[in-house]
């Protein structure tokens, strides 16, 4: 039986084809001062208990072997992506997706939502995908993504080093982690940065089968 614990927030995801769903009432939209929605930059991903998002050879087999992985993906990711207006990923993540998903699968999962791919080398495109290949400082790219999102959220797909760059710049608002009952011992780390409890506050806990979904608000870097 699924359990959900809602914690009031503080004041101031994958590689499989997924369908879009209507917004989940448990996923809040933060109102802006003008009554409109505020774009939030979110890192949504599956992770092992010991904090890895892929094996050392960038495999996700460990995730797909977990009982109920498809259900967790549909129930968690669909409502999440329904509020995404732009997303970004690193070159390694993009290459994995391109290798394992067809152009049709990309369109079914992401539609025409624009995606920014951070890379230092030339990469082949995906037919019909709304892709922008970029490099360098994440800050100007984030501004462009926020404009494109039109008040919806920005999803950081990964990997962890790219998300770390956004966190370093104070541009990461939320971590949404789907924790699987797996340990790898080594691999691609979830987020290769030091974020102490001064920057992280737990806002939501949800059980979905074998997965524990944890949501954290992320505060700004120390001055």
Spatial separation of the C-alpha atoms in residues 89 and 152, rounded to whole Å: 17
Phi, psi of 35 (to 5 degrees): 90, -15
- Going by pLDDT thresholds of 50, 70 and 90, the confidence category of residue 223 is confident
Cα of first residue to Cα of last residue in the chain, in angstroms, is 44
Provide the pLDDT for residue 151. Answer: 96
pLDDT tens for residues 34-75?
345 689 999 999 999 999 999 999 999 999 899 888 766 656
Residues 6+ apart with CB under 8 A from 6: 26, 204
Q: What tens digit of pLDDT does each residue of 157-213 get?
A: 999 999 999 999 999 999 999 999 999 999 999 999 999 999 999 999 998 889 999
Asked if pLDDT for residue 14 goes beyond 70, the answer is no
> How many other C-beta atoms lie within 10 A of the C-beta of residue 121?
7
- Of residues 24 and 189, more confidence is placed in 189
Confidence check: pLDDT of 149 > 50: yes
Domains annotated on the chain, with CATH = 38-169+181-193+201-215 (3.40.430.10)
pLDDT averaged over every residue in the chain: 85
Query: How many residues make up the chain in this entry?
Result: 223
Show contacts of 121-129: CB within 8 Å, 24+ apart: 121/91, 123/91, 123/94, 123/95, 123/98, 124/98, 126/98, 127/103, 128/103, 129/103
């Amino acid at each position: 039986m699924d359990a959900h614990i809602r914690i009031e927030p503080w004041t101031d995801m994958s590689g499989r084809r997924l369908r879009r769903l209507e917004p989940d009432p448990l996923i809040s939209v933060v109102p802006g001062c003008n009554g409109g929605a505020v774009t939030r930059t979110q890192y949504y991903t599956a992770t092992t208990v010991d904090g890895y998002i892929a094996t050392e050879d960038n495999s996700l087999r460990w995730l797909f072997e977990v009982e109920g992985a498809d259900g967790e993906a549909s129930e968690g990711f669909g409502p999440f992506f329904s509020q995404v207006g732009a997303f970004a990923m690193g070159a390694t993540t993009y290459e994995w997706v391109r290798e394992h998903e067809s152009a049709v699968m990309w369109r079914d999962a992401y539609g025409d939502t624009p995606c920014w791919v951070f890379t230092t080398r030339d990469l082949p495109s995906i037919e019909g995908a709304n892709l922008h290949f970029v490099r360098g400082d994440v800050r100007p790219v984030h501004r462009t993504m926020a404009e494109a999102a039109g008040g919806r959220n920005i999803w950081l797909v990964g990997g962890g080093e790219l998300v770390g760059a956004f966190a370093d710049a104070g541009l990461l608002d939320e971590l949404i982690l789907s924790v699987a009952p797996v340990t790898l011992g080594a691999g691609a780390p979830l987020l290769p940065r030091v974020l102490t409890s001064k920057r992280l506050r737990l806002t939501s806990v949800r059980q979905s089968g074998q997965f524990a979904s944890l949501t954290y608000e992320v505060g700004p870097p120390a001055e």
